[in-house]
């Protein structure tokens, strides 16, 4: 009895030792590329991708991650050489559960794993606290979907984003609403997240500036499914339009219950609730919804990207995948130009990069925001959201007009021929 | 005034769902002094199973009411099996253990069930097929939909049926005897294990129906939907006096109404200092206030007289 116990303990200990040894060995040499002694024929470059993969917006998170994965897979297939070695890109996909606390933990995990760059996070609420961690470690991070202005207002040199900001998106949907729906009274609701509240604030500002009466703000949470009480209260104030800053999982029930209560107002939403999912969540009630997305519609992304995505994952991209795809490609492109995966070396290249990707031409301004970011207004028609207007630099135009205008601006020089095929797709 | 009536309708609908779920908590607590924290998860599974059945049958062209009924009929035995399994696996072996042990195993089971649902139905919000068109009826300027009427009517029917069973049948008598003193009830020839198992089965059946109601009311289901709902229903049970059946019904409806009115009027009362997102806070302030003055809950008499 005693012997067998001792033996077991020894075996367990041995396994433990072996296990530890195995785990630790490959870690350090992976990233510290320029180390001469064991001259590795290839270097492994880790690119982090952070998005919520569990919880209410996991479908959007997966979409974001797929965008990164596609870019990484393509880069590997292209057999890129960096610093004279074969570069092997590895995506480290992390789940931040859309929770700011988890977001910082995950960010630290990526920093500790010595990633060369990060694409993420999906939410503004997780991106902002995480950004200081990346900044401390000097690791470039590009968000493909966080739209809260604060993210790039912190003066962090490593923080970029390839989508527009709420203070561009909010005014866009608000001015579209003001000129097309001509409401006298508008109710504004948000989900009390950094994203929802920030967007709602911008909408309110623009509406107030346009001399439209805005009712006192109503709030829910990012888990609220029962909006009846709030909507009933609003119904008594007879708004002509209701704007909601929040995601589709909460926005769907909101719109459905609003129509059930006999509210006839126009419903307008931000990009978080600007998905086809809305028609499933709200049923027929979703018809006529107005919503905005930072950037261009998924449909208007380059055909090459759309085909490659469909082929790789057997689904269509939902929302931000073209942006995270571009973000990952920009990291890789900057590394290629700097001929180094060392963040300190390729960061200056990234900041001045002029890149044409799936979402058109991308250049960063001093803050790390995308220059001249477009906003798109959609409406729900027959269960699908359809782009009805693209707003660029304060001007509203239809999608066809935009594509006509954008076409000559996109030369075929860059790694990806962008807008040419996209135009045909969008016209269908 | 029409706004007030509308808020009342909202509150009563929500409250009757709370009441049905609260009954599950209170029955189990009444009989074995266990707070079955996994009960909210049983509600969630009920909604999910019904979702799967309804989605499968929806294109078949059956009348919508029959499809929903079929979903409910499948959900009930599934939830009953889970309820029975919970009792058998997680609670019965711990029946004579210190109070904390079954409490922890209940929390554990709740997490396990959530993740089981995550595996089966994915992590996404699931859109409940909206096959029953919601028809509005106007009452004094307020609107009540056919779905709301169905929810309230079903809840009342189930509560009445449960009350009849507990107070008028042999099984009910045995349940009440077990609740009062399991040892003595056992000596009188009551099969305690069977009675406790039956209690779990009934609670789970109620939970299944509640799940279908919540799912079709909001048109949405999610693997985490059970936790907040469970917490609210548990609070409702405590508010009414845990272990007391009429108390759970009263507590549930009251909590729903307080929540709706709180969300509707808190902003006006506090000059928009507090927004409607404080509706949960408002509901729980009422709960705390009631418990401070009546620690046994509104109708609770008997709590704490036994160790």
What tens digit of pLDDT does each residue of A293-315 get? 877 888 778 889 999 999 999 99
Residue A56 structure tokens: 């209410």
B154 has a pLDDT exceeding 90: yes
Q: Which residue has the higher pLDDT, A237 or A407?
A: A237
Q: How confident is the model at residue A9 (pLDDT cuts 50, 70, 90)?
A: low
- Among residues A155, A93, A90, A154, which one has the least CA distance to residue A122? A93
Q: How confident is the model at residue A423 (pLDDT cuts 50, 70, 90)?
A: very low
pLDDT at A1: 47
Least Cα separation, residue B248 to chain A (angstroms): 21
The answer to whether B226 contacts chain A (CB < 8 Å) is no
The answer to whether B14 contacts chain A (CB < 8 Å) is yes
d(CA B102, CA B94): 6
CA distance readout (Å), A306 to A60, A296, A299, A425: 16, 14, 8, 10
What mean pLDDT is predicted for residues B57-82?
Answer: 91
Fold of A167-294+377-397: Rossmann fold (3.40.50)
Name which of A55, A218, A283 is nearest B275 (Cβ-Cβ): A218
Note whether B124 contacts A59, CB cutoff 8 Å.
yes
Residues on chain A touching B149 (C-beta within 8 angstroms): none
- Percent share of chain A, pLDDT over 90: 51
pLDDT at B25: 94
Contact by Cβ (8 Å): A312, A306 = no
Instruction: Find the residue in A nearest to B125 (Cα).
Output: A56
* Torsion A256-A258-A259-A264 (CA) sign: negative
CA distance readout (Å), B200 to A407, B29, B84, B229: 66, 10, 6, 18
Residues on chain B touching A223 (C-beta within 8 angstroms): 224, 228
pLDDT at A35: 55
Mutation choice for A interface testing from B58, B125, B271, B275 by most A CBs within 10 A? B125
Residue B35 structure tokens: 């707070």
B299 has a pLDDT exceeding 60: yes
pLDDT digits (tens, 9 = 90+) for A179-217: 888 899 999 999 988 889 999 999 999 999 999 999 988
pLDDT at A5: 56
pLDDT at B278: 76
Name which of A216, A229, A232 is nearest B272 (Cβ-Cβ): A216
Tell whether domain B13-123+140-293 is in CATH 3.30.70. no
d(CA A23, CA A12): 16
What mean pLDDT is predicted for residues A336-351?
Answer: 93
Tell which CATH architecture fits domain A34-163+301-364.
Answer: 3-Layer(aba) Sandwich (3.40)
HSE (side-chain half, CA atoms, 13 Å) at B293: 8
Instruction: Find the residue in A nearest to B258 (Cα).
Output: A229
d(CA B250, CA B13): 13
pLDDT digits (tens, 9 = 90+) for A344-376: 999 999 999 999 989 888 999 999 999 888 888
pLDDT at A418: 38
- The domain spans of chain B are 13-123+140-293
pLDDT at A424: 39
What mean pLDDT is predicted for residues B45-59?
Answer: 92
pLDDT digits (tens, 9 = 90+) for A73-90: 999 999 898 888 899 999
Q: Which residue has the higher pLDDT, A285 or B208?
A: B208
A410 has a pLDDT exceeding 60: no
pLDDT at A413: 41
Q: How confident is the model at residue A160 (pLDDT cuts 50, 70, 90)?
A: very high
Instruction: Find the residue in A nearest to B260 (Cα).
Output: A229
- The domain spans of chain A are 34-163+301-364, 167-294+377-397
Q: Which of A261-265, A358-362, B167-171 has the lowest mean pLDDT?
A: A358-362
Q: How confident is the model at residue A421 (pLDDT cuts 50, 70, 90)?
A: very low
- Percent share of chain B, pLDDT over 70: 97
Note whether A54 contacts B118, CB cutoff 8 Å.
yes
B290 has a pLDDT exceeding 90: no
d(CA A337, CA A86): 15
A169 has a pLDDT exceeding 90: no
What mean pLDDT is predicted for residues A1-29?
Answer: 49
d(CA B106, CA B102): 6
- Among residues A151, A33, A137, A53, which one has the least CA distance to residue A102? A53
pLDDT at B284: 81
Contact by Cβ (8 Å): A84, A43 = no
The answer to whether B272 contacts chain A (CB < 8 Å) is yes
Helix (H) or strand (E) holding A335: helix A321-338
Which of A271-281 are b and which e, b meaning 16 or more Cβ less than 10 Å from the residue's Cβ?
Answer: bbbbbbbbbbb
């Amino acid at each position: 009895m005693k012997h067998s116990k001792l033996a077991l303990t020894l075996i367990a200990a041995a396994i433990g030792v072996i296990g530890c040894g195995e785990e630790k060995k490959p870690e350090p040499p992976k990233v510290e590329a320029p180390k001469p002694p064991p001259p590795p024929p290839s270097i492994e470059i880790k690119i982090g991708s952070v998005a919520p993969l569990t919880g209410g917006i996991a479908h959007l998170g997966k979409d974001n991650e797929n965008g990164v994965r596609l870019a990484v897979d393509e880069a590997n297939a292209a057999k890129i050489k960096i610093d004279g070695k074969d570069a092997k890109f590895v995506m480290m996909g992390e789940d931040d559960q859309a929770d700011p606390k988890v977001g910082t933990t995950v960010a630290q995990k990526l920093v500790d794993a010595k990633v060369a760059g990060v694409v993420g996070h999906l939410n503004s609420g997780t991106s902002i606290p995480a950004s200081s961690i990346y900044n401390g470690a000097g690791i470039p991070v590009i968000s493909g979907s966080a739209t809260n202005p604060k993210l790039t207002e912190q003066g962090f040199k490593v923080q970029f984003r390839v989508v527009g900001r709420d203070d561009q998106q909010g005014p866009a949907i608000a001015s579209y609403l003001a000129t097309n729906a001509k409401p006298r009274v508008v109710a504004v609701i948000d989900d009390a997240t950094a994203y929802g509240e920030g967007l709602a604030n911008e909408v309110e500002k623009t509406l107030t500036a346009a001399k439209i009466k805005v009712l006192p703000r109503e709030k829910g949470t990012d888990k609220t499914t029962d909006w009846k009480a709030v909507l009933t209260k609003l119904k008594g104030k007879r708004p002509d339009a209701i704007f909601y800053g929040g995601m589709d999982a909460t926005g769907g029930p909101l719109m459905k219950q609003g129509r059930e209560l006999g509210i006839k107002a126009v419903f307008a939403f931000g990009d978080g609730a600007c998905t086809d999912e809305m028609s499933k969540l709200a049923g027929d009630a979703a018809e006529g919804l107005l919503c905005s997305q930072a950037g261009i519609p998924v449909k208007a992304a380059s055909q090459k990207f759309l085909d490659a995505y469909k082929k790789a994952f057997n689904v269509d991209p939902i929302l931000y995948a073209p942006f995270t795809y571009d973000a990952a490609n920009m990291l890789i492109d900057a590394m290629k130009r700097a001929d180094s995966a060392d963040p300190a070396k390729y960061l200056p290249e990234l900041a001045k990069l002029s890149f044409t990707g799936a979402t058109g031409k991308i250049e960063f301004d001093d803050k790390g925001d995308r220059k001249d970011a477009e906003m798109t207004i959609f409406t729900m028609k027959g269960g699908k959201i359809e782009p009805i207007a693209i707003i660029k630099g304060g001007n509203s135009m239809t999608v066809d007009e935009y594509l006509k205008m954008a076409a000559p601006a996109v030369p075929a020089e860059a790694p990806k021929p962008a807008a040419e095929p996209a135009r045909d797709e969008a016209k269908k | 005034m029409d706004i007030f009536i509308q808020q009342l309708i909202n509150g009563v609908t929500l409250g009757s769902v709370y009441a049905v779920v609260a009954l599950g908590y209170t029955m189990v607590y009444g009989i074995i002094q266990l707070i079955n924290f996994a009960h909210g998860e049983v509600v969630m599974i009920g909604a999910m199973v019904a979702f799967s059945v309804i989605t499968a049958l929806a294109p078949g062209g059956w009348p919508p009411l029959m499809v929903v009924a079929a979903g409910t009929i499948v959900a009930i035995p599934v939830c009953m099996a889970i309820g029975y399994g919970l009792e058998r696996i997680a609670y019965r072996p711990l029946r004579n253990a210190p109070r904390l042990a079954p409490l922890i195993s209940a929390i554990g089971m709740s997490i396990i069930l959530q993740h089981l649902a995550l595996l089966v139905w994915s992590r996404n919000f699931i859109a409940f097929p909206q096959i029953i068109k919601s028809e509005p009826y106007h009452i004094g300027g307020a609107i009540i939909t056919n779905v709301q009427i169905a929810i309230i009517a079903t809840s009342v029917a189930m509560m009445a049926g449960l009350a009849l069973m507990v107070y008028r049948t042999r099984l009910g008598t045995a349940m009440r005897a077990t609740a009062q003193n399991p040892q003595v009830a056992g000596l009188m020839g009551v099969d305690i294990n069977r009675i406790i198992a039956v209690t779990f089965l009934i609670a789970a059946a109620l939970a299944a129906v509640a799940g279908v109601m919540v799912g079709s009311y909001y048109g949405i289901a999610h693997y985490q939907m059970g936790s907040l709902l469970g917490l609210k229903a548990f609070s409702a049970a405590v508010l009414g006096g845990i272990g007391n059946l009429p108390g759970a019904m009263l507590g549930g409806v009251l909590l729903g109404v307080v929540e709706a009115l709180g969300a509707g009027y808190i902003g006006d009362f506090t000059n928009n200092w507090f927004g409607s997102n404080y509706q949960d806070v408002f509901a729980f302030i009422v709960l705390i206030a009631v418990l401070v003055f009546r620690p046994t809950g509104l109708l609770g008499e008997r709590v704490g007289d036994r160790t």
